[in-house]
């Protein structure tokens, strides 16, 4: 029989155990160990249930990643079958597994242009970091090692590792950690909100392009390896650039021989209605695309860099003869169980026409949300298909002021109380529901959010925030 200490530990509630032992990503250090976590215990479709049995409509989609919904038997079976047959073997060198090879072939077919070479990783961050290393290697192998500088943007989010956090440009995340600054440069945030801007989209576009060209000239194009960009910024606050920005920046990069890396970790795999949004939606011809999250519908950690034939061929041709090894990758790169579930995910997405469904319900979702703009505490509502956010304000200063953030936090907690999970970030409520969301669940999300906004507004007017 277990001794007393073991019994006591076993009977401790999970939120307590978690508070005692886990350091979460983006944890609030000021309440470390004192704040009980919301422990999600089970989930089905677009709903999750916590350890106390309360059900929530998940309007965050896990973390932008739960695309096909929870509890899909077919996905569970694909993982179990692969785990039984061969859970893992090394992907290093010239060893492979069937799911990884088949998934690479499928991704080459789904992606635009000649992005036919796939380097698998374990998540979005490792894929972004690998893409930057590939760009730097590509030029170094051509005798241009100085061509290592990277352009990114304020408000970008590219991951949680040392380099990807350095590429990211969210001021709230810039804390006492150290960031690479020698070769990373940030351009202005491209977010443009026609409802709230006092300049035209065309003027904003020209402003952004002039700045980019001036920065390229300042650093020297011969020193810049690549530009990395999310087609629409996700975690930075669902920031959409002015019309034409994505293609124009890509053209500018190519004019100067700079590689364009499109980070589609969020925008890909259906969230904007296509497997990849780069070309169909934004007219981009990227040299590399990053994918993760929806690639496996969140059922397994997986990421990938899709590389153009042109670059892959050059890497092979220019690698030094005495040391031709591509020393980048991870123990779990292209994990067979993760690749098996990604293949099953794509099969379901195609069979159920998930992208078509998103193109159908996406505009409905955005229209419904935009109807909330009439409320006093809503500064703006922005988004595209199934990525959106509501920005709160007290009616005074715009942006993440303490008062605006308190207001948004109140909205989030009222939503949670009423059984809706939205993602709180600064003074924003971010929404990215599973792609299988129906019109009736969209109505429910908007109804709960609307009531939460009204309650928060009443609190503010009564001086309770």
- Residue 358 near ligand PLP by CB under 6 A: no
Does 157 participate in binding ligand PLP (rule CB under 6 A)? yes
The DSSP code for 35 is S
Size of the site for ligand PLP (CB under 6 A): 15
Cα-based angle 331, 101, 140 (whole degrees, multiple of 5): 65
In angstroms, the Cα distances linking 21 to 35, 36, 161, 343 are 12, 11, 22, 35
Interface with ligand PLP, residue 158, by CB under 6 A: yes
75 vs 378 by CB, closer to ligand PLP = 75
- Judged by CB, which is closer to ligand PLP: 123, or 151? 123
Nearer to ligand PLP, 166 or 235 (CB): 235
Q: Does 125 bind ligand PLP (CB under 6 A)?
A: yes
Draw the binding track, 167-206, toward ligand PLP (x: CB under 6 A; -: no contact): ----------------------------------------
**Rule CB under 6 A: is residue 159 a binding residue for ligand PLP?**
yes
Nearer to ligand PLP, 190 or 453 (CB): 190
335: contact with ligand PLP by CB under 6 A: no
Nearer to ligand PLP, 18 or 230 (CB): 230
> Is the torsion defined by CA of 155, 280, 126, 389 positive or negative?
positive
Query: Which stretches does DSSP call E strand in 292-443?
Result: 303-307, 378-384, 387-392, 420-421, 423-425, 428-431
Residue, CB closest to ligand PLP: 124
* Distance of closest approach, residue 74 Cβ to ligand PLP, in angstroms: 23
On whether the CB atoms of residues 294 and 268 are closer than 8 A, the answer is: yes
361 near ligand PLP, judged by CB under 6 A: no
Q: Which stretch binds ligand PLP (CB under 6 A): 156-164, 238-246, 396-404, 406-414?
A: 156-164
Contact 245, 191 (CB under 8 A): no
By three-state DSSP, how is residue 379 classified? strand
Closer of 288 and 377 to ligand PLP (Cβ) = 288
Residues of this chain, 209-238, that bind ligand PLP according to CB under 6 A: 230, 234-235
Q: Which residues pair with 424 in a beta bridge?
A: 429
The CA distances from residue 207 to 7, 70, 112, 150, 200, in Å, are 65, 43, 29, 20, 11
Which residues in 25-155 belong to E strands, given as ranges? Answer: 40-44, 47-50, 55-58, 117-121, 149-153
Q: Quick one: 264 or 457, whose CB is closer to ligand PLP?
A: 264
Length of the chain: 465
Most distant CA pair in the chain, distance: 74
Shorter beta-carbon distance to ligand PLP: residue 291 or 394: 291
Q: How far is the CB of 158 from ligand PLP (least distance, A)?
A: 5
- Cβ atoms within 10 Å, residue 85: 13
Query: In the complex, which residues of this chain contact ligand PLP (CB under 6 A)?
Result: 123-125, 128, 157-160, 230, 234-235, 263, 265-266, 292
């Amino acid at each position: 029989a277990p001794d007393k200490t073991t019994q006591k530990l076993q009977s401790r509630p999970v939120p307590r155990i978690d508070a005692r032992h886990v350091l979460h990503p983006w944890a609030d250090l000021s309440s470390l160990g004192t704040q009980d976590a919301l422990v999600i215990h089970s989930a089905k479709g677009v709903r999750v249930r916590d350890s106390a049995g309360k059900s929530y409509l998940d309007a965050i989609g896990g973390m932008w990643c739960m695309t096909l919904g929870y509890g899909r038997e077919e996905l569970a079976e694909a993982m179990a079958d692969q785990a039984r047959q061969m859970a893992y073997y090394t992907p290093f060198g010239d060893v492979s597994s069937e799911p990884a090879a088949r998934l690479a072939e499928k991704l080459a077919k789904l992606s635009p242009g000649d992005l036919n070479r796939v380097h698998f990783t374990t998540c979005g961050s490792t894929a972004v970091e690998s893409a930057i290393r590939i760009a730097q290697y590509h030029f170094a192998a051509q005798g241009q090692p100085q061509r290592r500088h990277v352009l990114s943007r304020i408000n970008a989010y590219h991951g949680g590792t040392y380099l990807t956090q350095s590429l990211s440009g969210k001021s709230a995340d810039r804390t006492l950690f150290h960031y690479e600054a020698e070769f990373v440069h940030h351009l202005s945030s491209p977010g443009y909100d026609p409802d709230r801007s006092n300049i035209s989209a065309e003027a904003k576009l020209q402003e952004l392009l002039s700045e980019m060209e001036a920065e390229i000239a300042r650093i020297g194009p011969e020193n810049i390896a690549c530009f990395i960009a999310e087609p629409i910024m996700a975690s930075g606050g669902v920031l959409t650039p002015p019309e034409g920005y994505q293609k124009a920046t890509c053209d500018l990069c190519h004019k100067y021989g700079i590689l364009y890396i499109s980070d589609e970790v969020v925008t890909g795999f259906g969230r904007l209605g296509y497997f990849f949004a780069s070309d169909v939606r934004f007219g981009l011809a990227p040299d590399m695309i990053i994918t993760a999250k929806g690639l496996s519908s969140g059922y397994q950690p997986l990421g990938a860099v899709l590389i153009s034939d042109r670059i892959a061929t050059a890497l092979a041709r220019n690698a030094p003869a005495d040391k031709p090894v591509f020393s980048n990758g991870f123990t779990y790169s292209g994990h067979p169980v993760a690749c098996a579930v990604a293949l099953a995910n794509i099969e379901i997405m195609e069979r159920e026409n998930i992208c078509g469904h998103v193109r159908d319900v996406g505009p409905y979702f955005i229209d419904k949300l935009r109807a909330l703009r009439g409320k006093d505490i809503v500064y703006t509502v922005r988004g595209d298909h199934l990525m959106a956010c509501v920005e709160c304000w007290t009616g005074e200063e715009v942006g993440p002021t303490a008062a605006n953030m308190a207001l948004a936090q109140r909205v989030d907690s009222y939503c949670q109380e009423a059984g809706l999970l939205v993602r709180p970030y600064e003074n924003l409520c971010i929404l990215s529901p599973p792609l299988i969301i129906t019109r009736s669940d969209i109505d429910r999300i908007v109804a709960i959010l609307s009531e939460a906004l009204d309650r928060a507004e009443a609190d503010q007017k009564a001086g309770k925030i």
